[in-house]
Structure 1
Amino acid sequence: MRWELDWLENRARLTPNKNAVILEDNNMKWTYRELNNRSSSVAGWLKSQGVKKGDRVALLSPNDISYFDLLFACGKIGAIFVPLNWRLSAHELYEILLDCTPGLLGIHQNFENMFTSLETATPQSFFVGGDYYERIVNEKNEFSYSENMSEHDPLAIIYTGGTTGKPKGVVLSHQSIQWNAINTILSWNLSEEDVTINYMPMFHTGGLNALSLPLLMVGGTVVIADQYTGQKVVQSIQQYNCTIILLVPTMYHLLIQTEEFQRSNFPSMKIFLSGAAPCPLPVYESFQKKGLAFKEGYGLTEAGPNNFFIHHEDAEVKRGSVGKPMLFNAIKLVKEDGQEAKVNEVGELLIKGKHSFSHYWNNKLATLETKKEGWIHTGDLAKKDEEGFHYIVGRKKDMIITGGENVYPLEIEHWLAGHPAVDEVAVIGLPEEKWGELVVAFIVPKHSYLIEEEELIEYCEKKLGRYKIPKKFIQLQELPKTHVGKIDKKKLKEFSKQN
């Protein structure tokens, strides 16, 4: 299975001198030959440290070349790569390490202060990002492929954010990661001419699997970036002649407000992608006014994360749609009664394909609840129109039932986001004795402008049914966000209980 699983070595043979990875911070570049040599050296070093097939190797680091070094090194020897969310507390990281029990933990020198609190959770730790680590990757450390490696063997464990409970370790096999890349390349028409800059955290599936690995497989170039600002992304897109980029809605929210965005025509860009959360419609409008191709996608750590394709011209007409299923995955919408949803009916989104996760690490019950007969039950609600274009309605757990009526927060959020004085908005349901749940909107006004509640109600009445109009508007200076930029509705509910 060596030739099938170690596709980086094959890519390095095909395009050895092509730039594979560039660091935005210092403009360092690595060709495919150099990237493969680094990961091969790390693979040999891991073997010398006693790492065997099935052992976990964890990494705590900002976006860095070491993610690719260790992921591909683990793939060569059958080990399992575990990227850690550096935005978690030391206690949360410690709990994750106790769960996955890595034999080795790499810590970037920028996080040296975390070393003492985490070193007892793993037998051996080492620093990345400095001279010691560079000596490892530049030495000719020999290794041998495991003869009994299979495409079904685990390659990575990515822990979910944990906003709804204890983080779960999503086990992704070689097959999962390879087929997500193949599906993405063919469905999205990626080529070796494509260049992306990655501001998404590489401990997250969006940072690794959405664009980075598909582009490396096809022979494109990935620019690794760390600190995001709206001004900086415009400059880097122009500097590196980027053709495609994936950002989350909060990043786009910051980007479209900059003078740099307004001035630039982005001549090299083919498409701007939005993911991780539904994108507010005003973002669409900002790109459409400039004549720039923009669309959004849908995915989750357990599936892909790439599952849909929509042409940017269709995205302009069908705003908010994530499109149709890609070449090599199937989609099904299922209602509460178990029947498939018809056109324009809402149902839970189910996904099947070779890109799906294997199981949750040390959590058989959660696996059985999520993956049934090969179908991943996403917990997200969606509908499709007469032409087969899909729309994400919201999280199943976020749906509000008030007075017996189903209310989908995303519909209200999209409408309120179009108010000229509203900067950001989030809608949740809170328990209420009479109606069951109360529709509550959290608003961040533009320029600290206090919006009268009567104005917001009148605005809602133009589009929304009475039962959908929030009964309460709470204005904040900012909305809480998760580590990938999603609005943290769990914290909003906690805030509501305290006030």
Structure 2
Amino acid sequence: MNWERDWLENRARLSPNKDAIIDEKTNKAWTFEQLNKRTNSTSSWLHARGVKKGDRVALLSPNHISYFDLLIACGKIGAIFVPLNWRLSFHEINEILADCTPILIGIHQQFKAIHQQLNNVNTFFIGDASYEELVTFPIGDLPQEEIFETDPLAMIYTGGTTGKPKGVVLSHQSILWNAINTIVSWSLTENDVTVNYMPMFHTGGLNALSIPILMIGGTVVIGEPFIGEKAVEALNRYRCTTILLVPTMYHMLIQTDEFQNSDFPFMKIFLSGAAPCPMQIYEAFQKKGLAFKEGYGLTEAGPNNFYISPEDAQLKRGSVGKPMLFNSIKLVKADGCETEPNEVGELLIKGKHAFSFYWNREKATQETWKNGWIHTGDLAKRDEQGFYYIVGRKKDMIITGGENVYPLEVEHWLAAHPAIDEVAVLGMPDEKWGEVVAAFIALKQTYTIQDEELKMYCELKLGRYKIPKQFIRLAELPKTHVGKIDKKRLKEMRKRENK
């Protein structure tokens, strides 16, 4: 095993007594030396159970130290770690299991009652006494089969908002280089501490901050579930320096009294990811003098790809910044030519942090990987100074009467209205215009507002063809498992209503 595929062994040698992991629920801490011993025991236990290079080992668990135990243990023997989204239905989980065919599946005791409904009988349980025996299993010699940096290490299934989830295969190289790129570009140090409320079955929970911070010798606090008041207390108690949350979480956080009353003395930066961030969240942090910025990523690339300083984030609100040190970005138009400044194009990414392929999806892989670049399907633009702005998904762009409408622009303006709590803008089929702009909105409590008032408000900022023709009110907008507004479900709801 070379250093780049067993970095924890070396980190444990450099920082043996430093806290690596803390569990927020129990306040139990593990040093790097203890974490490394756990992963060595786990890899020996997996080997004794017949797991070999290329085999898949799945995990169905809420946020828990077992994610690190199994990811790193799989890396030591060449197996592939497959974290499962426990928020999916039994049917959806079984579809994933049928696709990745794991040799073993770890199931947290929280889900013990449902394991018989899963199509995989080779199970072991997480979070009880038997698991503690597993992570203290006698450490023995592992197979001598060589493991290459391009071999698969993890397979993370995408959210499936545009169809069935796809297994994104991440190699040792891709996870390593995402961490190195993040550490160097974001200036992470061994003094950094984060609380991870992102689901660890998602790349944002594992790879955005957790692995980079551990690699540099910092501390990761495992937290779940996210509650705004509790999160403020945890950030202060553990002297956290950075945190990654999705906009929905920030929306909940800034409305708490605890947020308003805390100075967050140890925090260097608040990070937002997974979805574009409304401007009122920027404003809430600016009022308190706290550094805030957003980023961009996807399971297939990193997920980290850009860096922006807190100072630039205030001047260039909505920008994700510039490409990080060890990856390349370009924007291309429909004709394949690169865009000029302020011209919208599809975002393409290249770097060693990129995924290898989609599991059992050769056609989908070829559609995404073209000429050495990942075609993200996201639209973006860059300004004259080279700062990038995400405009929206290519598939979400609305064409109404021949004019292009980018939903994010309309969403940002509507979200700034004092009556609106949440908003999502979609294109709906129309015989005359092809598509019309429709806005799904959830109003803040005690507020009422008429469609004409909203249209007049839109006229202050938006061209006439961008103004929603329909305003659909909901008590709350549906969310995906990572807190994004689920536009697929909104479209389906509207279709059913119009039948």
Pairwise TM-score range, normalised by the shorter structure: over 0.9
Contact 1:448 1:477 in 2 (8 A): no
Give the TM-score normalised by the residue count of structure 1: 0.99
Q: What is aligned with 1:101?
A: 101
State how 1:386-405 maps to structure 2 within 5 Å.
Answer: 386-405=384-403
Partner of 1:112: 112
**Shift in Å at residue 136 of structure 1?**
1.1
Distance (whole Å) between structure 2 residues aligned to residue 291 and residue 312 of structure 1: 11
CA–CA distance in structure 2, aligned partners of residues 492 and 3 of structure 1: 47
The offset of 1:3, in angstroms, is 2.4
Does the 8 Å CA contact 1:440/1:472 hold for their aligned counterparts? yes
The answer as to whether partners of 1:20 and 1:216 remain within 8 angstroms in 2 is yes
Query: The residue matched to 2:445 in structure 1 has which SS?
Result: helix
Tell me the SS of whatever aligns to 1:207: helix
Q: Which among 179, 186, 189 is matched to residue 187 of structure 2?
A: 189
SS in 1 for 2:281: helix
Which aligned segments of 4 or more residues in structure 1 are displaced greater than 3 angstroms? none
CA contact (8 A) 2:305 2:327 kept: yes
Deviates more, 1:130-139 or 1:48-57: 130-139
Give me the identity figure in percent.
71
Instruction: List aligned pairs for 1:33-182, cutoff 5 A.
Output: 33-118=33-118, 121-182=119-180
Counterpart contact for 1:299–1:306, Cα < 8 Å? yes
- Secondary structure of the residue aligned to 1:196 is strand
Task: Report Cα offsets for 1:58-82 as digits up to 9, x if no partner.
Answer: 0000000000000000000000000
1:55·1:102 contact (CA, 8 Å) conserved in 2?
yes
Residue in structure 2 matched with residue 238 of structure 1 by the alignment: 236
The SS at the match of 1:447 is coil
Contact 1:78–1:146 (CA under 8 A) maintained in structure 2: no
Q: Structure 2 vs 1, CA of residues 123 and 114 (structure 1 numbering), >3 Å: closer, same or farther? A: closer
Q: Does 1:280 align with 2:282?
A: no
Letter in 1 for 2:153: L
Separation in 2, partners of 1:136, 1:448: 54
The residue that corresponds to 2:414 in the other structure is 416
Alpha-carbon distance between aligned partners in 2 of 1:50 and 1:26, rounded to the nearest angstrom: 33
* Distance across 2 between alignment mates of 1:140 and 1:91: 37
| Structure 2 CA distance for partners of 1:146 and 1:280, relative to 1, 3 Å | farther
Which residue number in structure 1 is paired with residue 287 of structure 2?
289
Q: Which residue of 2 aligns with 1:259?
A: 257
Pairwise CA distance, 1:455? 1.0
- Structure 1 stretches lacking a partner, 5+ long: none
Structure 1 CA distance for aligned equivalents of residues 411 and 60 of structure 2: 35
Q: What is the root-mean-square deviation of aligned Cα atoms in Å?
A: 0.8
Distance 2:446 2:373 in 1: 46
Deviations 1:101-140 (A, max 9, x none): 000000000001221011xx33511101100000111232
Q: Secondary structure at the match of 2:76?
A: helix
The match for 1:469 is 467
Q: Secondary structure at the match of 1:341?
A: coil
TM-score computed with the length of structure 2 as normaliser: 0.99
Letter in 2 for 1:322: V
Check whether the contact 2:4–2:176 (CA below 8 A) recurs between aligned residues: no
| Cα contact 1:76–1:145 (8 A) shared by 2 | no
Give deviations 1:136-177, integer Å, cap 9, x for gaps.
112323142543110000000000011110100000000000
1:497: Cα distance to partner?
A: 1.0
d(CA) in 1 for partners of 2:448 and 2:275?
27
Q: Is the 8 A contact 1:40 1:143 kept in 2?
A: no
Residues 228, 252 of structure 2: 8 Å contact kept: yes
Counterparts of 1:44 and 1:337, CA distance in 2: 53
CA drift of 1:277 comes to 0.2
**Residue type matched to 1:58 in 2?**
A
**Aligned partners of 2:168 and 2:300 also within 8 Å:** yes
| Structure 1 partner of 2:314 | 316
Deviating more after overlay: 381-390 vs 440-449 = 440-449
Measured in 2, the distance between the counterparts of 1:128 and 1:2 equals: 29
Match of 1:343 in 2: 341
8 Å CA contact 2:44–2:137 kept in 1: the answer is no
Structure 2 spans left out of the alignment, 5+ residues: none
Q: Distance in 2 between matches of 1:3 and 1:286?
A: 43
- 2:6 and 2:76 in contact (8 A); partners too: yes
